[in-house]
Homo-oligomer: A and B are copies of this chain.
């Protein structure tokens, strides 16, 4: 924790680039900070398809939470992933969970999150007890089928029984893990609402809910693990694949709307550069000049940027062009992903979970 930060500074650090679920979340967060409590944050991910770089956005925020004096719990929603998938056997979901655990550890290290303040847990590790079960029955008895459907489009459109259970399981986890704050994407709004509605009916307190923006696709729209490969970059794409995908991304000169490359700078590269600058007093990371966060070839020579807003301004007025932007984004992304790829290559156990969790990606033996 940075002892030089006052309560207001820490509030600003925690909430920057995030949306608060509601006014109560803001007030409660202020009050937790005023109590000088070590705030416990939760970020949860369901081990389904292979993660894309959009996951960097919440991971980067975890560094801010820790910098503001907090502790972080990363939860792998294994039962949730099983209940929404319908087709992958339970054992395969367990392998995916272990794959995710290795991957998130590598990614957190890559963005510079201090791992001493991070712990990890699988949902099933605390769900199989009489106490949890009875609390889960209580939630199910409070919740209408429509309440569950209203939490999100995927759950809402399903005709199967199991997806309806997932929002309640996730929210009950906040109590069983004893967290103060849960961070999720803006697509979690309905789930967070459900928790705020029903946890108090079990005598449990409403949690603070913070939401990060979702990274747009390289070709516009939402980046999603269920969209075609060329619309997203995964954590383990090869350097050449990253180059090809960025080369093919939407990036019209001077146009921000629908641009697939600028959001990578805004939501990932600039924030990561800032974390690194904070940690490495004398560090250089190859895509910035000392004292700045990002450097791009521009008309009239290389320009160094301290904020995304400055870069966007120069992009809009034509000082920075698409080719130069793509070039530096490829280099920066590859520099960010390189240690993750290296860890994967050197980790046989991780590769084993990959093979068992995603057998379709592997040649038949």
A interface residues (Cβ-Cβ under 8 A, vs B): 79, 82-83, 85-86, 90, 124, 127-134, 137-138, 140-141, 143-148, 159-162, 164-165, 168
Contact = CB atoms under 8 A, between A and B. Distances in A.
Nearest to A133: B128
A143 B124 contact: no
22 contacts: A79-B133, A82-B141, A83-B140, A124-B130, A124-B134, A127-B133, A128-B129, A128-B131, A128-B133, A133-B133, A143-B160, A144-B159, A144-B160, A145-B145, A145-B159, A145-B160, A145-B164, A146-B159, A147-B161, A161-B164, A161-B165, A161-B168
A86 B159 contact: no
How many chain copies does the complex carry? Answer: 2
A197 to B, nearest CB: 13
Q: Is the interface of A mostly helix, strand, loop or mixed?
A: helix
A161 B140 contact: yes
A146 B132 CA distance: 27
Which interface residue of A133, A147, A168 has the most chain B CB atoms within 10 A? A133
Given A128-B130, A128-B131, A140 B165 contact: yes
Given A124-B130, A143-B160, A145-B161, 10 more contacts: A79-B133, A79-B137, A82-B137, A86-B141, A128-B129, A140-B165, A141-B162, A146-B159, A148-B161, A161-B165
A147 B160 CA distance: 9
A145 to B, nearest CB: 5
A352 B96 CA distance: 51
Contacts of A145: 145, 159-161, 164
Nearest to A164: B161
Nearest to A84: B141
Nearest to A85: B141
A129 B129 CA distance: 5
A128 B132 contact: yes
7 closest Cβ contacts across the A-B interface? A128-B130, A140-B162, A141-B162, A128-B133, A143-B161, A140-B161, A145-B161
Contacts of A132: 128
Contacts of A143: 160-162
A143 B146 CA distance: 18
A82 B133 CA distance: 12
Contacts of A162: 137, 140-141, 143
Contacts of A131: 128
Nearest to A129: B128
A201 B168 CA distance: 26
Nearest to A124: B130
Nearest to A80: B137
A103 B168 CA distance: 35
Given A140-B165, A161-B164, A90 B134 contact: yes
B133 A160 contact: no
A347 to B, nearest CB: 27
Contacts of A147: 161
Contacts of A79: 133-134, 137
Which interface residue of A90, A124, A140, A146 has the most chain B CB atoms within 10 A? A140
A134 B148 CA distance: 21
Nearest to A148: B161
A154 B165 CA distance: 20
A86 B143 CA distance: 10
